[in-house]
Structure 1
């Protein structure tokens, strides 16, 4: 796809699939399957028969935070998106302007020293820029996890119809972090999984390996590469991934976040080792992939940096053909939309 391509507004998924029709569950979304330049149409419930015994799915266990909080700069209302907790206790935040349809208008941050009043008597001070839209901020008053639990709501954008409860943004794999860390936005590729589907996959010999990558705030205006994010690949998962590769199984990352975590933990020898910390890795076609054989992901806008990882896995021509098929097939985009399985 080229940057000139635009996704028709009517192809934005405005509500989750289970709210569109009574009796549907999360796994009722459609799934485009790409093998090279060949694309086929399936439903997500067919995933177990598209994988085989010995394949391994890598899933992100990061829980989604209620990361949007109302605040005030003087008398002007703003919305604070809490993005990433730093090692020094500060938070990367984004300020946005409310418009009644989600918090879609980015607000210029700064200058340094700008104070934002928060609910419950707390506040934050912008200290230094992290990017054009994100600032490192020092938070005073209630601890941020408590603030988000009491006053936060999930981040949403104008293409969705309404606010949703936090449970709608949690995947079946989500595990709350003891320190209150999590993802500012849902690792949405895993959203269609249900406990029933996981059980069926396991019964067919498909394995799961868990990793954690806490995603920051995406930009609805400028699709810049991701900034450093906290991740962890446990020893048990590293062993599972290496064993799957050695046994001829396919390692399929569920989401670019899981793929980024795994590719951040592989050495030049192709062996995955337990690792935790921060990653600034951007997987590009030039860098290539060293572990991931396939990718299950949502449908991304043409400018999104996530597409670089898809091209690294499958090649540009395959991704362009797949997206053409998704547009022609009227697939739905964004976090409540349909999914794309890219296989070798």
Structure 2
């Protein structure tokens, strides 16, 4: 676990327990707190204001990874029910997948605290339609490598038998469509790249009319398991050559490259090291800094979440502290169905 050094308390009534649409709002009507590093100042907006907040010539880099229903019901050899959360649709270099076992309940599957999980090497988990997952070795205290045996291709199997991963702060199940952004075209994320959720066709049209560009990357997200607050682990990404060239062109002409989501930051910063596609274990911290982005649109993160270090690298500690103070005082909503924070380094 990384020590972020951030100390704040998020009241539980600020959890976004349902999508904006269920609260009577259009997706682009969620709130957006804008923070500017230059003068350490913030402004309160609706997301629909984004085209007016940005400048002509800016580039938004978006993640086109689509969410898959990565939560599967399973049973242990003794008949004990478990929930298996698949952390990547692509097998890693070992030919295995990362998975997390959780305790099934009437609501969201619960986290096994350290030392209580039934996971051990060789454990077989029986899955729907005759599929199995056999744990091979631990990756972290909660994640394990597993060999999957399936009756067909993985993504169609998940679409048939899985459900979207849901945590306890979400009151009930929502359809997979609630966990997709307008950009999602490449199935592969275990959890929604949620910073892009508020985008609508209207917002995109007004961005284009103002001369603000968009370009895609792909990064397939793993499971967050928010109770654990672990540092990021390897995820598969691809930055198209056209996106890389466009970002360089925009910056060379004084425009800003603004990542939509921490996933886009990780992909762009990884590509800047010279590899446009592959598995990245990059952890962006204030000490490392950022060299490929000038801003970040993101959701609100928990006090110990490792993503806060990336946010600090973009925004600086003073602005980030101010944003979180303002968000809590202003009763912004947290998590994937909540409000958003636009951090601009210049």
TM-score by length of 1: 0.94
Question: Aligned equivalents of 2:143 and 2:63: distance in 1?
Answer: 24
Residue 214 of structure 2 is matched in structure 1 by: 208
Aligned Cα root-mean-square deviation (Å): 1.4
Asked if 1:257 corresponds to 2:277, the answer is: no
Task: Call closer, same or farther: CA 1:310–1:4 in 2, change over 3 Å.
Answer: closer
Q: 1:228 aligns with which of 231, 234, 257?
A: 234
Question: Aligned equivalents of 1:32 and 1:121: distance in 2?
Answer: 48
Cα deviation for residue 100 of structure 1 reads 1.9
Residue 306 of structure 1 is matched in structure 2 by: 307
SS in 2 for 1:327: helix
Q: Deviations over 1:217-247 (max 9, x none)?
A: 0022121111010000011001110000101
Q: Deviations over 1:251-271 (max 9, x none)?
A: 10000000110000114xxxx
Unaligned runs of 5+ in 2: none
Within 5 Å, which residues of 2 pair with 1:64-213? Answer: 64-73=67-76, 74-84=78-88, 85-87=90-92, 88-106=94-112, 108-143=117-152, 144-177=154-187, 182-213=188-219
Q: Tell me if structure 2 keeps the 8 A contact 1:99–1:105.
A: no
Q: Deviations over 1:66-98 (max 9, x none)?
A: 000000012111000010232454211000001
Residue 22 of structure 2 is matched in structure 1 by: 19
Cα deviation for residue 141 of structure 1 reads 3.0
Asked if 1:56 corresponds to 2:56, the answer is: no
Q: Deviations over 1:2-36 (max 9, x none)?
A: 55422111000010111111xx3110100001012
Q: Tell me if structure 2 keeps the 8 A contact 1:256–1:306.
A: yes
Q: Tell me if structure 2 keeps the 8 A contact 1:213–1:229.
A: yes
Question: Aligned equivalents of 2:6 and 2:312: distance in 1?
Answer: 15
Question: Aligned equivalents of 1:125 and 1:236: distance in 2?
Answer: 40
SS in 2 for 1:239: helix
Within 5 Å, which residues of 2 pair with 1:214-293? Answer: 214-267=220-273, 275-293=276-294
Unaligned runs of 5+ in 1: 268-272
Residue 30 of structure 2 is matched in structure 1 by: 29
Asked if 1:47 corresponds to 2:50, the answer is: yes
Q: Tell me if structure 1 keeps the 8 A contact 2:101–2:119.
A: no
Q: Deviations over 1:94-122 (max 9, x none)?
A: 00001222113226252100000101011
Q: Tell me if structure 2 keeps the 8 A contact 1:68–1:153.
A: yes
